[in-house]
Structure 1
Amino acid sequence: MFDSSLLLRFNIFKYLNQSTKQILSISQLSEDLELNYQQSVIELNEIDQELAEISPNHETIMMRAGKVNLENLTATIDIYRYHLLKQAVPFQFILYFMNEENPTIEKFCEKYFVSRSTVSRKIDKLKKHLKRFNIRFTYTEAGMSGDERLIRLALFDLLWLGTRGIECPLVVDQHQLEQVMNTYKDYYPLARTYFGTQEIKLFSCINLIRIKNKKFVKYDPRYNFLMKDNPYYDFTSLRELIEEPLTTRQVKGESSFIYFLAHYSPFYTIRDDPSMKQAIHDFDARPNPVNDFVMEFRLFAKKALFPDRPEVMDDPLVVSNLLNITFGYFIFRQPFPSIIELVMDPNEKQTRGEYILFQNIQNFMQMAKDNPSYSFISSVHPMLTRGFKRLLLPYFNQFPYAKNLSVGIALEHNAIFVRDLYRFLEDLRFINAEPYDVSLKDDYDLIISSSSLLKKEKPHIPLYQLDFPYTKNELVPLYIESRRIYDKKNRVYE
């Protein structure tokens, strides 16, 4: 949603926010972010001005002699992001057609002093993103067209990632919102966590506004095995909670979407969650391809992925999340808006362990897609593979497939000096550490030394210099560096 100038300021602010220094030189910032010095000064002054708009008590971050005072950063990254978003045309356009009655592109252009061509240009990146889900922007009546469920999921992702719950930019009746949330919160595993409650609030706001604007979702017969004639799902309460008059069909469609929202993503994180137990029961109660598919995958995974710990695939947390991931794709049969897909890079290089896990799951999907019972995965199996891999990765033992780091310790030969360091390295199961041995020549992945002497002798081997006396805090950057080298060593480049 950011244009290039807003994105640049956001990236500079993020860089400032993540720095551990109190005073930072502008030349260092320019070098790290590959900007020219003058450009950095202009953008920093702009950021300084915006921080003053956010907080009246803001003291300037700009110092003499080309320095920046990071102690005067008065806004969090969320607050600053939201401040920038309110200046972004795509975000303004979304809030406009959500909050205004009878929205049109002409009225929008008039309100925000922009031309129609500017709107079209600045909204282009977002338009391309939404096209993946067959969602389009409309202008005669300003808004979006496509599957209403996908539109609402896309609106949630964009508004949540933009605001992170610090403020709700949607105008809704607060009493009505509370009633809706209180009526349906127990259906959501999200309701058991602090941030989950904020997410439910935003989902509820979007639903209420879309209903008010007469943009309704339809009931999908694919829900039947889960929701039809199931007393757990209440299809009558909504009519009493909504001020707008709804037909029986509209009540059914809107109610079903409320329940669908509890089942389209791997939301389960708490072991004694009643909604999780209910979901496992309901998916198992009637014959259906979602439960059959997950059952077959679990049998496969017990043998191929977890032969030493098959019980992992019987863990209710794993089972319920596999069901939710599968259910979303069973319903849509196409890509659908997902925060996971937005923030995680699907093309990120994998370690050997990740690659083996991914290949095994992919092999299962290739076989399953030829089974007529699982025809629903034929167009979505690459996304299902990614979803299953991400869910199972924390349980999967990657170490048999990984090569440990070989680390040579070249410090003063004194047990008191090296004791804490060896203890620290022993706790890192991906490192094999030993006293530096000259005869090993080039076999080390990393050398830890109190001198830069070895840098001259072995310029091609990374050297981490540890000064005496070192503190435990200085071992944290050592962990980060050794983990980076380990990940690089174990990356698969196929």
Structure 2
Amino acid sequence: MKFRIFKNLAGQTTGIYPYRDLAAQTQLSYQQYYKLLQELDHDLLESGLIKTSLIVPNTGISTEKLALSIDEYRLHLLKSSLSFQFMQALLLKPTLGLENFLQQNYISRATISRRMQPMIKYLAKYQLKINFQKFRIEGNEIAIRLAFFYFFWLGYRNLFWPFDVAKEKASTYGELFLQDSPLSRDFVSRLETSIYSGVALTRMLQQRFAEYEPALDFMLEDNPECDLCAFENTFDLSPEHSKGELASIYFLMNFIPIYEDPADPALEKSIQTFTRKTNPVWDLVESFRCFVIDELHVHMETGTKKMMMANLANIILAFYVFRGPFPNLPALVKYPEVKSAETLQLEQKIKQFLNSLLKREEFSALRPSEKYLVQILRSGISPFYYQMTKEHPLKVGVMVESNQLLVKRLWDFLADISFVETELYHSETTYDFLITTFSQTAMEIPVYYWDFNVGYQNLSSLYVALRKTYIEKNR
């Protein structure tokens, strides 16, 4: 609740605000808001995160000297969380052991078991389990790394490097992610790659290696572009461990829906990778393409159709490899959406199509993922809006995670605004306006902090901010 109040304060322009106005914005009563604000102000002062009280006696709250970012405050809260400390210790200090952790935090086994229940339930959804006695997470190694990656990515938000392994060494591991990939042109994706590489190298140094997944044979077997031996020299690994680690990287390069431009050369390369040998992933995508045209009567341009198919193949590949759900960012940062009657009707049609298809033996590995695939396929045929030609545009950089499940609606909204030109943020490009999920940016242009949940509820405020900046630019 305090975090919600702080996010609201941090999103205000500089000024002094009455309690009642901010209480209404955070959907709290005046009494609730006043009490929580007093506690928040005391906590921030006591921890040294702010130097001057936010409270103006008999007036309200001042944001004039609020320099603390949302990311910094979130990390402060997380560091005081027992669950955060425990998960961090599992990755960074695995030799600490349960007893030493309990002694350091003055808690009992019963307390840690009780406090970790939400995390235990979260991990169980992905066939991962905390072994308290052995002080480790057990399950598929790539799924374990993804769970740790999202934990550190959302917690640290690039405020500082949390790993013992050198950042430069991690970049060596991550170079493969960026070869001939749209991720190499995306500022946020390069940051994500760095954090994941830090997690992966930390696990490797602990002798926790990714095993080769035979389900990837159709992509990697006899593929001259996939060198599975490179890590034998780079990281002094055995042939078996090098093969497993590099295969995991090639898999993760085709793991999320990252394609946004039908003319992207990487799109054709991805399609070639999926079609080089017969496989259930592309067979499902091709069957869905026919279903979309013949049964749903949805028609798309050739480029748009290829982009949809490549993005769907990436997501379906993950379900194929993991044999079920897997740790993913949208599940962590998005609330379940309220579905319209039309959406439910469409999902029912897709469910009938999928249910019939998955009865075939070649698709048996995807059966445990049926309910998730219904959502994915429905999302995949969301309409692509025509982007109007813009005159005297506002150049907008978008510094967000490159995942269509998260940002498709934002891109659609921006595409419908005739006076803006938008693109994923590039550090070397000059922009008039920045939209970002990072609350701390050293920019001298208007910056709009984007929250994946609240943001979609307040698109009108984003439009007003864009319009204001556009008018100022063209005066």
Q: What TM-score comes out, normalization by structure 2 length?
A: 0.75
Q: 1:292 aligns with which of 277, 283, 289?
A: 283
Q: CA deviation at 1:392?
A: 2.4
Aligned pair count? 395
- 1:372 is aligned to 361
1:216-235 alignment, distance < 5 Å: 216-235=209-228
Q: CA deviation at 1:261?
A: 0.9
Distance 1:477 1:158 in 2: 30
Q: CA deviation at 1:170?
A: 2.2
Distance 2:462 2:119 in 1: 40
Identity among equivalent positions (%) equals: 29
- 1:363 is aligned to 352
- 1:105 is aligned to 98
Residues 129-159 of structure 1 deviation map (CA, whole Å, 9 limit, x = unaligned): 1111121112233221111111111111222
Distance 1:359 1:312 in 2: 27
Instruction: Answer yes or no: is the 8 Å Cα contact 1:302–1:310 preserved in 2.
Output: no
After superposition, the Cα gap between the structure-2 partners of 1:318 and 1:46, relative to the gap in structure 1 and judged at 3 Å, is: same
Q: 1:322 aligns with which of 312, 316, 331?
A: 312
Query: Secondary structure of 1:68's partner?
Result: strand
Instruction: Answer yes or no: is the 8 Å Cα contact 1:16–1:70 preserved in 2.
Output: yes
1:140 is the counterpart of 2:133: yes
Cα RMSD, aligned residues only: 3.0
- 2:185 is aligned to 192
After superposition, the Cα gap between the structure-2 partners of 1:312 and 1:384, relative to the gap in structure 1 and judged at 3 Å, is: farther
Instruction: Answer yes or no: is the 8 Å Cα contact 1:97–1:142 preserved in 2.
Output: yes
Q: CA deviation at 1:43?
A: 3.4
Distance 1:227 1:330 in 2: 15
Q: CA deviation at 1:180?
A: 2.0
1:383-402 alignment, distance < 5 Å: 383-395=372-384
Distance 1:290 1:353 in 2: 27
Q: CA deviation at 1:287?
A: 1.1
- 1:331 is aligned to 321
**Bigger radius of gyration, 1 or 2?**
1
Q: In terms of mean alpha carbon deviation, does 16-25 or 195-204 score higher?
A: 16-25
- 1:120 is aligned to 113
- 1:62 is aligned to 55
Instruction: Answer yes or no: is the 8 Å Cα contact 2:19–2:30 preserved in 1.
Output: yes
Distance 2:231 2:461 in 1: 54
Instruction: Answer yes or no: is the 8 Å Cα contact 1:306–1:396 preserved in 2.
Output: no
Distance 1:102 1:35 in 2: 45
Query: Secondary structure of 2:368's partner?
Result: coil
Q: CA deviation at 1:378?
A: 1.8
Q: 2:270 aligns with which of 257, 279, 288?
A: 279
Distance 2:371 2:341 in 1: 19
Query: Secondary structure of 2:179's partner?
Result: helix
Distance 1:173 1:127 in 2: 30
Q: Residue 323 of structure 1 aligns to which amino acid in structure 2? A: A
Residues 74-100 of structure 1 deviation map (CA, whole Å, 9 limit, x = unaligned): 222122111211111111112222222
Q: Residue 334 of structure 1 aligns to which amino acid in structure 2? A: G
Distance 2:42 2:162 in 1: 23
Instruction: Answer yes or no: is the 8 Å Cα contact 1:189–1:262 preserved in 2.
Output: no
After superposition, the Cα gap between the structure-2 partners of 1:359 and 1:164, relative to the gap in structure 1 and judged at 3 Å, is: farther
Q: 1:301 aligns with which of 292, 310, 334?
A: 292
Query: Secondary structure of 1:137's partner?
Result: strand
Distance 1:328 1:182 in 2: 21
Distance 1:292 1:28 in 2: 55
1:150 is the counterpart of 2:131: no
Distance 2:229 2:286 in 1: 33
| Structure 2: unaligned runs, 5 residues or longer | 387-415, 418-458, 465-475
Distance 1:308 1:284 in 2: 22
Instruction: Answer yes or no: is the 8 Å Cα contact 1:55–1:74 preserved in 2.
Output: no
Distance 1:187 1:103 in 2: 40
After superposition, the Cα gap between the structure-2 partners of 1:297 and 1:57, relative to the gap in structure 1 and judged at 3 Å, is: closer
1:71 is the counterpart of 2:61: no
After superposition, the Cα gap between the structure-2 partners of 1:156 and 1:31, relative to the gap in structure 1 and judged at 3 Å, is: same
Q: What TM-score comes out, normalization by structure 1 length?
A: 0.72
Instruction: Answer yes or no: is the 8 Å Cα contact 1:51–1:75 preserved in 2.
Output: no
1:260-271 alignment, distance < 5 Å: 260-271=251-262
| Structure 1: unaligned runs, 5 residues or longer | 1-7, 398-426, 429-474, 481-494
Query: Secondary structure of 1:144's partner?
Result: strand
